[in-house]
Amino acid sequence: MKTRSQFATQAFIRERNSSMSELPQTTHRNLKFNNGSAIGMSHRWHKGQYCSILTKAGIVGCGIYALDTPAEFGQAIAIAKGTPDNPLCEPEDLYEATIVGCTPQAEKIGISLGMTGREAVELMLQAELDD
C-alpha cells in the first residue's frame, strides 16, 4: 500500500513532466490537529520544492530551512529531512517525518530530535507564548 507521501511524489512527478509552465506553484490549506489548527504550505519550482506547517508559535518544515538565523531571532523552528527518492512535498508529508534539527526556542517548548513532525506541531500548538 502506498503512503500519502508516495502518492504526492508521484503526482508531483506527473505534474512536473506534464506542465512545467505551471511552475512556480504554491498552495496552502488549514490543517486540524488535536491541539488546534495550523496552516500547511507547499511550494514548487523547477527541480525543487519545500513544505511547512505554520503555527502561532513557529514552523515545522522540511530540510530547506536553515536554523542559524531563526535561532538568532528567538524563533521556534523544527525541521525534518526528506531524500531525493522520498522528498517532503506536501505539509502532510511532515506528519510522520522525523525531526532532525530544531532551534533552542523549539527545544524550550519541548521539541526534540527524533520526534515526528506531528508531535512537534502539537507542541507548538499548545505552547504558551511570551511577549
Three-class DSSP category at 59:
strand
pLDDT in tens, 16-44: 444 456 999 999 999 999 999 999 999 99
What's the pLDDT at 9?
54
pLDDT bucket at 10, cuts 50 / 70 / 90: low
Percent of the chain residues topping a pLDDT of 70: 83
Q: What domains lie within the chain, and their CATH numbers?
A: 4-126 (3.30.1980.10)
Q: Where are the alpha helices (DSSP H) in the chain?
A: 4-18, 68-72, 104-108, 117-126
Q: Is 47 left (phi over 0), alpha (psi -120 to 50) or beta?
A: left
Contact 123, 42 (CB under 8 A): no
Phi, psi dihedrals of residue 28, rounded to the nearest 5°: -145, 155
